[in-house]
Amino acid sequence: MMRLDKFLADMALGSRKEVKKIIKKGNVKVNGKIITSDKFQVDEKCDLVFYKEEKINYQNEFYYLMNKPQGVITATTDNVDQTVMDLFQDSDYRLDLFPVGRLDKDTEGLLLITNDGPLAHHLLSPKHHVEKEYQATVSGIMSNKDVTAFFKGLTIDGDENCQPARLIIDSIDKDKEISSIRLILQEGKYHQVKRMVKAVGKEVLNLKRLRMGSLLLDENLDLGEYRELTKEEIAQLKSL
């Protein structure tokens, strides 16, 4: 059970102050009856709540899959740069939403945005070994020697050890000395992909995240677009 004003505020109909005014104007019905008291108790699991004849279904956890573009930073707010939260429509935006992990400003691809703190912690914790898969274009010729080095675990910047990672060489352009690779990690150190590639004498030219655990980048999403996760996708993430 919860107060009616909290129910409506949680569903982003406005601040607690704003929804109190909505309720007092008689715009809210609970189980067919107009309610004008913001203190009225509702059962979010079974009561039928309507605002101006529109049914309001209660939801306290939200999950979005975004195809992050380059040039946008992975943060909730910033005084200079555009953030991933700035890409949200007003109807979907909530103050408690946050991105799970970070993608560099010049990195694009899969980004999970939610208000589910326990799930975010689980996905990011190294002890749970949740895989993150990236696709990169690299300046330099990646080799089987590099595959072995990544598999054994690299030391980056002289003293920082990385867990073993799986390097897959998809193609090589010997004339341009460029390699197309995928890299599967189970941790998320700062600039990790770029620093690992640098440790074997190459340079990342562009980078995209394709997967986090069971969650795949949706090819139907253009850069900057997002969608809600399906029930199946949420269940799979929670089972990792």
Catalytic center residues? 104
Cα–Cα distances in Å, from 149 out to 127, 152, 166, 208, 210?
22, 5, 10, 22, 22
3-state secondary structure at position 195: helix
Burial of 127 (0-12, 13-18, 19+ CB in 10 A): exposed
> Quick check: 151 and 205 in contact, CB under 8 A?
no
CA angle 183, 160, 137 (to 5 degrees): 25
Cα gap 29→23, rounded to integer Å: 9
- Expressed in percent and rounded to 5, the helix, strand and coil fractions of the chain are 25, 30, 45
